[in-house]
């Protein structure tokens, strides 16, 4: 009897399945001097259905086929650009780096699946589907894509509706340091701009922090549960092996029954190992993915804080320049410096206006994303728990069925008054339920001799000990028997 079979808990369709036209396949290892990496083929195949039949968020430019080669660092570039281009969006988690064992075939296949899921999630994301960097990643040839990556983000960010201020487009060495120093000074002073939604965002921060703490506790217990399931599978294997050896030491019906116990334990070991693997893929892995999504929510809130800090820094800069300009105008003969300060103030005011718009837009995006996260993740958690319950019900039903088949086999093993095993035979059964109308017992004793020969009535006695032969005696007849 084979206990392996199709799982009763089928994989439920996921939101990213709508972007199944995007695939990541054919991992190939490359070696360039001391540098060794793995490339993946990324294909975009237009869906068969009409565009109107697809969800709005997947109606990107999919009218033509495309196939490109990308490595993990390219996926990482896309992940970082999405955070910059669509600040405040909950960017799907990317598979983590692994410095050791990254060329193991199992690891490569697992990374391929996760990279494919990442792209599909981005493609169906309501805030990220139209990102310019995504289209560049999916369709640009090697030369164009390399040029885009080396452009430090100017080409991509220039087309974004939430592009940083023009200060970030200046030379990076001096201006970036000054900006960082100003933002750090503003952050330390705590003089941040206030908005009407600050109380709401503080509540969101507390909610996300508490959710993260509780989910990590659940993940820890889930990991322990899966580990115990594997230990049970190993224990059943050892249990079955012990009973198989015990059954071999007993050559009667009891030995056969003990061997059946060992065989049943072996089957249960395989069933438990398969169940532990399903628990990992259908319960532990989704919980871990849920925690990664919570971390993505934290990053979205962090992007909003960064925009708030930039806006506050710009306001502080405007106030400082206004004060300096007012003092300079009071000094005679400083018209040139006053004009220079006035131009600097004007640029600071323009940067402040852009920073304010960025801050407002990112704040609204974060609110939309958190609302979507609560709706989708509540449904996903319900699905995860429901799948886990169905998995346990199916597993315990199979366990019960396998154990139940063993009960009749053990019940057939009977013992006499001396606790000796009675071999299964038809004689004891007929004596247990005698039929008075049958005349055979009246004539059966006549042909036998006077010398009882119990040895001839013992079928295949496993032991030569005479005490074992006593199990065959059932009220010996007293009528004298004739010789054979």
Given a contact cutoff of 8 angstroms between Cβ atoms, the answer to whether 24 and 115 are in contact is: yes
Comparing 341 with 254, which gets the higher pLDDT?
Answer: 341
Give SS3 for 28. Answer: strand
Q: Which two tokens stand for residue 263?
A: 């065989």
pTM for this prediction: 0.71
Given a contact cutoff of 8 angstroms between Cβ atoms, the answer to whether 58 and 49 are in contact is: no
User: In DSSP terms, which residues pair with 243 in a beta bridge?
Assistant: none
What is the Cα–Cα distance from 209 to 266, expressed in whole angstroms?
Answer: 45
pLDDT of residue 167: 34
The mean pLDDT value for 267-290 works out to: 93
pLDDT tens digits, one per residue of 385-430? 999 999 999 999 999 999 998 888 888 777 666 656 665 544 444 4
pLDDT tens digits, one per residue of 121-148? 999 999 999 999 999 999 999 999 999 9
Given a contact cutoff of 8 angstroms between Cβ atoms, the answer to whether 127 and 369 are in contact is: yes
Given a contact cutoff of 8 angstroms between Cβ atoms, the answer to whether 421 and 253 are in contact is: yes
């Amino acid at each position: 009897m084979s206990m392996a079979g199709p799982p009763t808990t089928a994989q439920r369709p996921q939101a990213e399945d709508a972007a199944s036209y995007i695939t990541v396949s054919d991992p190939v290892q490359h070696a360039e001097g001391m540098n060794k990496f793995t490339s993946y083929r990324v294909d975009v195949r237009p869906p068969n259905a009409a565009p109107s039949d697809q969800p709005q968020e997947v109606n990107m430019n999919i009218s033509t086929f495309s196939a490109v080669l990308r490595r993990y660092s390219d996926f990482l570039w896309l992940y970082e650009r999405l955070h910059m281009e669509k600040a405040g969006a909950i960017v799907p988690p990317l598979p983590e780096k692994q410095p050791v064992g990254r060329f193991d075939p199992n690891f490569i296949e697992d990374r391929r699946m996760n990279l494919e899921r990442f792209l599909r999630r981005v493609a169906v994301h309501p805030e990220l589907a139209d990102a310019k960097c995504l289209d560049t990643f999916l369709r640009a040839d090697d030369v164009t894509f390399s040029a885009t990556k080396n452009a430090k983000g100017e080409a991509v960010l220039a087309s974004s509706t939430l592009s940083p201020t023009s200060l970030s487009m200046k030379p990076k060495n001096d201006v970036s340091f000054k900006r960082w120093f100003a933002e750090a000074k503003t952050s330390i002073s705590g003089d941040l701009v206030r908005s009407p939604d600050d109380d709401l965002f503080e509540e969101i921060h507390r909610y996300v922090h508490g959710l993260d703490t509780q989910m990590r506790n659940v993940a820890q217990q889930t990991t322990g549960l899966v580990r115990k399931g594997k230990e049970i599978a190993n224990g059943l294997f050892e249990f079955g092996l012990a009973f198989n050896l015990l059954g071999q030491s007993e050559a009667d019906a009891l030995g056969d029954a003990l061997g059946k116990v060992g065989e049943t334990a072996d089957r249960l070991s395989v069933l438990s190992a398969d169940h532990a693997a399903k628990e990992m893929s259908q319960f532990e892995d989704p919980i871990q993915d849920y925690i990664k999504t919570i971390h993505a929510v934290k990053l979205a809130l962090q992007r909003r804080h960064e925009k708030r800090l930039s806006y506050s820094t710009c306001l502080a800069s405007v106030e400082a320049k206004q004060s300096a300009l007012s003092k300079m105008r009071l000094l005679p003969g400083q018209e040139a410096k006053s004009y220079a300060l006035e131009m600097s103030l004007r640029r600071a005011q323009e940067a402040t206006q852009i920073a304010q718009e960025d801050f407002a837009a990112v704040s609204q995006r974060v609110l939309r994303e958190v609302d979507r996260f609560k709706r989708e993740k509540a449904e996903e958690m319900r699905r995860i728990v429901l799948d886990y319950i169905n998995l346990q019900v199916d597993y315990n039903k199979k366990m019960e069925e396998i154990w139940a088949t063993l009960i009749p086999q053990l019940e057939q093993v009977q013992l006499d008054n001396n606790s000796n095993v009675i071999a299964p035979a038809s004689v004891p059964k007929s004596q247990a339920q005698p039929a008075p109308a049958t005349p055979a017992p009246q004539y059966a004793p006549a042909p036998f001799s006077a010398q009882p020969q119990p040895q001839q009535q013992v079928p295949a006695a496993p032991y030569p000990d005479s005490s074992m032969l006593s199990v065959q005696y059932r009220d010996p007849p007293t009528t004298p028997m004739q010789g054979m």
